[in-house]
Structure 1
Amino acid sequence: MKLLLCLTSFSISLVFASDVLYYSNKDFAENIPTHDLALVEFFAPWCADCTMLDPLYEDAARILKDNDPPVPLIKVDCTVDTATCVQYGAQHYPTFKVMRNGEAEDYKGRVTAADIVKNLKYMAGPASKELKTVEDVEAFLAHDDYSVIGFFRNEKSDLAKIYRKVADPLKLEVLFAHTTEQAIRDKYNYNNDIVLFQPKIYQNEFEEPIRKYDGEASTQKITEWIKKQRLGLCAERTTENSEKFPKPLFVVYYDVNFFLNKEDTIYWRNRVLKVAKKFQDAGIDVNFAISHHHIWVHELGTFGLTEEQNGKPVFVPRDKPVVTARDTRGRKYVMPDEFSEDNLEKFVNDVLQEKIENYLKSDPIPLSNDEPVKVVVARNFDEIVNNEEKDVLIEFYAPWCAHCTTMEPKYKELAERLKDEKDLIIAKMDATTNELPKPYEYSKFPIIYFSAKGKKKNPKLYTDILEIDDLIKFIAKESTNELKGYTRRGIMRKKTEL
């Protein structure tokens, strides 16, 4: 009883040791330049994603503190130390920045403990690892990443110097190593050569697993060669490397997993590789990739390949892969036939030769479009909005949007008032059923843009009050030619002036 009373007489708090450093505004400015390399998480305590990441971040910090050299992981509370967060552009949470001697750059890797450790170790270490023995080479190649080894007579050769320049910016994409040891060069029969090694898991009968660079000793040429060889005939396309794939690009989606679903992954990839090899042998520049369908649900939705379940887009796996494409102009295509080698080859040829209609999420083009407010859909967007003969004011709306419903009679009245302006079109488009072309975008509804003649690539976003007179002032100011019924300030002209 006395013990109980004693315990209840004090407030007891448990403090857990953390390997993550917490910096305030003052600490950050003073301490961050002292680190050669660090990773900073800008967070908010109320952020659910931040809370979920806490144990992963702690795990990575524990491992990286013992790295050679150590790499600190840092956190900044943006609800308290706002100035620092604003300075480094942390507008959403969590935001991660890599700091090199006080200079910030975006962290582009996945946010898992393993990936943070891997990426930061690569950044902290030398661009290229020195290999001293044959056993070193064997250990270096015993993983599932693409590797490049420079076999040099000495480190001062011109090719060795160029190699180091190539390795530094690419070391997060490919593992680099080098050697000058005679025994290694004799063993592998390379002498002053740069060689790419494909990991065993990706090896196949359609491409060489070991490829030697035989071009000119140029930083640009070697960089381009490594990037191309890294993708090969058909690489796995992930959220981390998706921007590395050039167009035209044909993506085959299925349950891609070289570890948990190895047999099926290799089976379907081999079918794609066989087709890719045909195009390579024919000298046709086309690119192929495989992607996991669940990872790319959002992208598949932009091709019309998902369905709604409980208000969310869901991809329902098929017995066979599905295939999409983007041509060099960014236009989208969906293979209409069931997957087979012959159908894939035909689809590629049809896209390259423009024998197939591109996919565009669009309502049907209206049979009649004579009202003052013109109806725009994705398939007539270029014809109406990008028409260089007309200025266009376009509203993007959603049928369920209450503000849009309130705006509708005002927008109609606006169009009625300006219907005699021959060089102006007032238009609207349902953004929920039609695909918006770049650079148009929305974060709320309604959104209104003005697309002037000669400035179609740079439409002007309307940000003022959604009232008729204010819209007229905006149009009058932005219009290519002065409106007949209004001055440049949006003031209605007298009849004697017309």
Structure 2
Amino acid sequence: MESKEIVLVKFFAPWCGHCKRLAPDFEKAAAELITNEPPVELIKVDCTVEKKTCEKYGVSGYPSLKIFRNGQYSQDYNGGRTADAIIKYMKGQAGPSVVVLSSKKDFDKFTSSDDYVVVGYFDSESKLKDSYFKVADTERDRFSFGHVTDKSLFKDYSDDIVVYVPKKLHNKFDTNEIKYDGNYDTDKIKEFLTYDTVGLVGVRTIGNLFQFTKKPLVVVYWNIDFALNPKGSNYWRNRVAKVAQDYKRKVHFAISSKEEFSHEVQEYGLGDRSTSDKPIVAAQTKDGKFFMDTEFSVENLKNFVEDLVKGKLKPYLKSEPEPDTQGDVKVIVGRSFKKMVMESDQDILLEFYAPWCGHCKKLAPIYDELGKKLARENIMIAKMDATANDVPPPFEVQGLVRFIFLLFYYFRLNWADFYFANLISQDDEIHQFAIL
């Protein structure tokens, strides 16, 4: 692969059902992408044969899609799994990752984008320049990168990386040009782009969730629309910023669309307030989820954040009612999790499932039989509807509804140790896992 500019590799196993379903789309995409300019080659690696190769690149599930550039691993593939989605994503990955800005006209056009853009000012070779281009290769699907070559534009910057904030997000609380002050370490540059460029109050969308993983995180939900209502959107953002400026580096703040994150609003138990014309506020910390139960105002938000920081708030826990009776497979809900799992004197195999999940339905009679077999052992076989109940950290199962069909935790005595397994298996295999 060393001679290939860009290659998409599918790591698979012949017995894997998902691999078989992907195969025709992968082949169709391969036929079209090979004619692209530059050509994008798609190849496949059978992990039952090339075990060492798959281990080398950390393949832990099938199919795994990874992008290589000039023979070197670049990044995991993060696009869709249909032929059209693969073609679109890989065309975006092919070609230069950095736009050359050879004139002021090019520069003005590039920095007038409605999104954040990254510009490198390099008039000679340097370690920072090398790192910048490496980062651009791996982060091109997250950020737009430019490279100034017109020396007349080097008035304020030289051998620098600068992020330009879109005009619609300019405010008096943040700078509109964010300069990177670190060294040439690529991880440091990525961290800067990810976390240090969103400002005091970031605009959080489904597409940039990767920039809002640090906690505590306070999110203000409203009818955010910077295209149709920039004035109203900025009005509420600035109200939040008045509070955020007092908690720099302590608390992270964001605004999000109530419509785009309607599922999240429901998860916080705020569904009945989703039609309000005032923003609603929720927070995530290492201790759980919280929401502000008073009407939005700068003063109320400040009080909420202060209580959050001081640990005065009680976490919100979504829970079904506890069942009146229990069978061989114990039913655990949000409010009984601590008592039945964390304070249990038994080892526990706990399944987190979704009622609509086909794999879960298929497993149900097998799992019930396992419960009967181990009913007299000192092992609790249990299940929990992850769509209707919350669990305390660190046992989060976020994303189960969309990404994971079947999730198991195995808890050793008093949950001092727990193991994770994503099992879609037969009775004997689950039984073997349970008695390890």
Establish whether TM, by shorter chain, passes 0.5.
yes
1:150 maps to which residue? 120
Farther off after superposition, 351-360 or 99-108: 99-108
The yes-or-no answer on 1:386 pairing with 2:342 is: yes
The one of 45, 53, 78 equivalent to 1:108 is 78
The yes-or-no answer on 1:458 pairing with 2:426 is: no
Shift of 1:208: 1.4
Q: In 2 relative to 1, CA 36–319 (structure 1 residues): closer, same or farther, beyond 3 Å?
A: same
SS at match of 1:225: helix
Alignment of 1:273-352 (within 5 A): 273-306=238-271, 317-327=275-285, 329=286, 331-352=288-309
Q: In 2 relative to 1, CA 146–121 (structure 1 residues): closer, same or farther, beyond 3 Å?
A: farther
1:210 and 1:130 mapped to 2: Cα distance? 19
Q: In 2 relative to 1, CA 266–170 (structure 1 residues): closer, same or farther, beyond 3 Å?
A: farther
1:10 maps to which residue? none
The one of 154, 179, 198 equivalent to 2:148 is 179
One-letter amino acid of the counterpart of residue 323, structure 1: V
How high is the TM-score relative to the length of structure 1?
0.62
SS at match of 1:355: coil
Please list the CA deviations of residues 190-235 of structure 1 after superposition, one character each: whole Å capped at 9, or x if unmatched: 3343322112122223211123334556544444333333322223
Q: In 2 relative to 1, CA 285–269 (structure 1 residues): closer, same or farther, beyond 3 Å?
A: farther
Farther off after superposition, 228-237 or 196-205: 228-237
One-letter amino acid of the counterpart of residue 283, structure 2: A
SS at match of 2:154: helix
The yes-or-no answer on 1:234 pairing with 2:217 is: no
2:87 and 2:349 mapped to 1: Cα distance? 50
Shift of 1:454: 6.1
Q: In 2 relative to 1, CA 361–156 (structure 1 residues): closer, same or farther, beyond 3 Å?
A: same
Shift of 1:275: 2.8
Unaligned runs of 5+ in 2: none
The yes-or-no answer on 1:224 pairing with 2:191 is: yes
1:73 and 1:205 mapped to 2: Cα distance? 48
1:170 and 1:39 mapped to 2: Cα distance? 16
Shift of 1:288: 1.9
1:252 and 1:35 mapped to 2: Cα distance? 46
1:164 and 1:398 mapped to 2: Cα distance? 43
One-letter amino acid of the counterpart of residue 6, structure 2: L
Q: In 2 relative to 1, CA 89–384 (structure 1 residues): closer, same or farther, beyond 3 Å?
A: closer
Larger Rg: 1
1:171 and 1:397 mapped to 2: Cα distance? 35
One-letter amino acid of the counterpart of residue 178, structure 1: H
SS at match of 1:241: helix
RMSD: 5.3
The yes-or-no answer on 1:253 pairing with 2:221 is: yes
SS at match of 2:147: strand
Alignment of 1:194-209 (within 5 A): 194-209=161-176
Please list the CA deviations of residues 303-330 of structure 1 after superposition, one character each: whole Å capped at 9, or x if unmatched: 23448xxxxxxx9543223322211x26
Aligned length in residues: 409
Structure with the larger RCO, 1 or 2 (CA within 8 Å, 6+ apart): 2
Please list the CA deviations of residues 54-85 of structure 1 after superposition, one character each: whole Å capped at 9, or x if unmatched: xxx89xx79x9675xx3559799xxxx9x99x
Q: In 2 relative to 1, CA 119–133 (structure 1 residues): closer, same or farther, beyond 3 Å?
A: farther
One-letter amino acid of the counterpart of residue 99, structure 2: K
2:95 and 2:353 mapped to 1: Cα distance? 51
2:109 maps to which residue? 139
One-letter amino acid of the counterpart of residue 207, structure 1: D
Give me the identity figure in percent.
33
Q: Is the 8 A contact 2:200 2:248 kept in 1?
A: no
SS at match of 1:385: helix
1:495 maps to which residue? none
2:367 and 2:60 mapped to 1: Cα distance? 34
How high is the TM-score relative to the length of structure 2?
0.69
One-letter amino acid of the counterpart of residue 457, structure 1: F
1:176 and 1:243 mapped to 2: Cα distance? 18
One-letter amino acid of the counterpart of residue 353, structure 1: K
Q: Is the 8 A contact 1:369 1:375 kept in 2?
A: no
Q: Is the 8 A contact 2:341 2:414 kept in 1?
A: no
1:274 and 1:331 mapped to 2: Cα distance? 25
1:459 and 1:364 mapped to 2: Cα distance? 26
2:354 and 2:100 mapped to 1: Cα distance? 59
1:8 maps to which residue? none
2:433 and 2:188 mapped to 1: Cα distance? 51
Alignment of 1:396-435 (within 5 A): 417=376, 424=378, 426=380, 428=382, 431=385, 433-435=388-390
One-letter amino acid of the counterpart of residue 279, structure 2: P
1:121 and 1:357 mapped to 2: Cα distance? 48
2:410 and 2:181 mapped to 1: Cα distance? 52
One-letter amino acid of the counterpart of residue 164, structure 2: F
SS at match of 1:148: strand
SS at match of 2:196: helix
1:474 and 1:112 mapped to 2: Cα distance? 34
SS at match of 1:360: coil
Q: In 2 relative to 1, CA 139–377 (structure 1 residues): closer, same or farther, beyond 3 Å?
A: closer
SS at match of 2:220: strand
Q: In 2 relative to 1, CA 110–325 (structure 1 residues): closer, same or farther, beyond 3 Å?
A: farther
2:93 maps to which residue? 123
One-letter amino acid of the counterpart of residue 150, structure 1: G
